[in-house]
Amino acid sequence: MSDIKLCLEALSALSGCTVEATTGSSQLTSQDFVNIVALKEFYKQEGFKELEYPSLGTLSLQDLENQDMYSAPPALTHGPVSASLKPTIKINTQDFFHPQYDYDFTNIKDGDKVFMRGNEKYVRPCGWKRIALRVEQKYEDGDSWLGTGNNAWPVSYHGHNMDGSLGIIITHDGPPDDEPNFLDAGAAALRNPDTRGRGVYSTPDIKMAEKYCKTFKYSVDGKTYKVVLQNRINPQKRKSCQREGVWLVYIPEGSTNLQEKAIIEKSLRPYGLLIKQE
């Protein structure tokens, strides 16, 4: 089993909460952590300062501590920063983690090898260490989403600061130009709410996720680590963005808090916590 304390601090960094071990029942599931990370980034896009989450209460969206070189600018909000304290989350590490499926990719280089998940290319997280999450038999529709067959969902990485803020949909790499296709795509994105970029972003490219990932300083050794969530994404619930290698789970205008949470739960499922020393 990996260093439990390091894993707990990685989860703390991702969620903005204080995550501690318990011998009792876990307060949150691994799906809850994906929900929290995704909703916090989405709410920051929307200009909110706080997120209300069931059983936790109010979570501040201000991430002013331990800013790292990959951090996006804080959300533009009015008024003072929320004084909410970090909630404490208790998890039973034996029920939460699944060491049988841990995998150390630290020194692995795949080169030209091709791996597939759900009939789509799987870019393995080479250079990272994966701590597996116990997710088997946790969903009503079974475990086929987690497999390697035709019914499996593709792999998706969620970086802490991946939010698009519309621009990831209607911009492209390189300097702006007057290319008609680009301008037409931008105009269409502004007209069509389904391409407006409102929702949760992830990527099949671990290198892109690393650019936006959360970093934290481990209290034991003082070293800085990166952390990313490794998920599977429902191919029926994602939208491809104009920028290659970016997927959007669209959240319609007017969705309630419960509907937003439900959309994420139907679209993104976690199975690995990725950690890498900076």
At 221, phi and psi to the nearest 5?
-110, -5
- Encoded tokens for 13: 């960094």
Distance CA 152, CA 178 (A): 40
The structure tokens 């929900």 sit at 35
- Give the lowest-confidence range in 29-33, 130-134, 247-251: 247-251
pLDDT confidence bin for 63, thresholds 50/70/90: low
What pLDDT digit, counting tens, does each position of 193-206 carry?
444 578 899 999 99
What is the structure's pLDDT at 177? 40
Strand partners, 216: 225
The model carries a pTM of 0.82
What pLDDT digit, counting tens, does each position of 208-236 carry?
999 889 999 999 999 999 999 999 999 99
What is the structure's pLDDT at 84? 47
Strand partners, 214: 227
What pLDDT digit, counting tens, does each position of 109-168 carry?
999 999 999 989 999 999 999 999 999 999 999 999 999 888 899 999 987 677 654 445
CA distances (Å), origin 28, targets 31, 35, 93, 212, 218 = 8, 11, 11, 25, 22
What is the structure's pLDDT at 195? 47
Distance CA 129, CA 144 (A): 24
Domains of the chain, residue spans: 4-277
What is the structure's pLDDT at 161? 73
CA distances (Å), origin 167, targets 11, 38, 109, 241, 250 = 28, 18, 33, 10, 15
